[in-house]
Amino acid sequence: MTGVNFYGIWAIYRFEMARALRTLWQSVATPVITTSLYFIVFGAGIGSQMPSFDGAQYGSFIVPGLMMLTLLTQSVANASIGIYFPKFTGTVFELLSAPISPFELVVGYVGAAATKSVVIGLIILATSMLFTPLRIEHPAAMVAFLLLTAITFSMFGFIIGVWAKGFEQLNFVPALLITPLTFLGGAFYPISRLPEPWQTISMFNPVVYLVSGFRWSFFGRSDVDIGLSLGMTALFLALCLGLIVAIFRTGYRLKN
């Protein structure tokens, strides 16, 4: 049994990170400006009229949701673009014929996408601290949720990049699925405050479990049990992993 080709993984990872560094200013400035606008509008404007939630001011309450919104969209976008461009230019056949396994290929692309997303998430966290007092009761759990979510949705983005036949399909899922589900998943309001039947309907939104678990790591309270949040995240991770395995076994939209 041959060992893992760490050089191949590093080559893909370094190439993807270099592509991100070429747009470093845009990558850093965009989340900082967007976060500032959210706090100006929601934190200062609307937040002053809102009650506290779980002992946290509204400005503090929306930080986990704002981080999760950016983390999901950035993870999907980074990973999908990373694998789509080799398909678009035809260089994907060079990758498939190179002495690198599908596992190593996925680790390189997903690792780079997750790294970029986590960095942007931490930038949003640092920016948020300039606007609102913030406490993190379970920092280890916060980091774990951050990494797990970034890796899971980077894998999901990888699947979208393989599936997409054009730039329209590439942007379809993030724009019309991820963002709406995040806004409806309790990112900016507690699910427990919704009237029935909307509270029950919200439980069918998978993003609810991600936002709820991530918010628990900040304030120690959440709309959903922390064990259930971790279980749903792990389930989606396993589903994405299974789809990626199927893609490479069948060559779906990679070899044809």
Residues 6 or more apart whose CB falls under 8 angstroms from that of 186 comprise 65, 202, 208, 211, 212, 215, 223
Q: Is the pLDDT of residue 1 over 60?
A: no
Cβ-based neighbour number of residue 156 at 10 Å = 24
Eight-state DSSP code of residue 66: H
Distances (CA, A) of 230 to 92, 237, 245: 34, 10, 23
Average pLDDT, the chain: 86
Report the alpha-carbon angle 211-213-214, nearest 5: 65
Q: Is the pLDDT of residue 26 over 80?
A: no
Say which residue the tokens 């999908």 belong to: 80
The pLDDT tens digits for 141-189 are: 999 999 999 999 999 999 999 998 888 888 887 788 888 888 888 888 8
39-61 mean pLDDT: 70
Q: Give yes or no for a cis peptide into 197 (omega within 30° of 0).
A: yes
Residue ranges of the domains in the chain?
24-250
Identify the pLDDT of residue 199. 86
212-237 mean pLDDT: 90
Q: Between 27 and 209, whose confidence is greater?
A: 209
Closest-CA residue to 177 (of 252, 82, 77) = 77
Residue ranges of the alpha helices (H) in the chain? 6-21, 24-38, 58-89, 92-97, 102-128, 139-163, 167-173, 179-183, 198-202, 206-219, 226-250
Q: Is the pTM of this model over 0.85?
A: yes
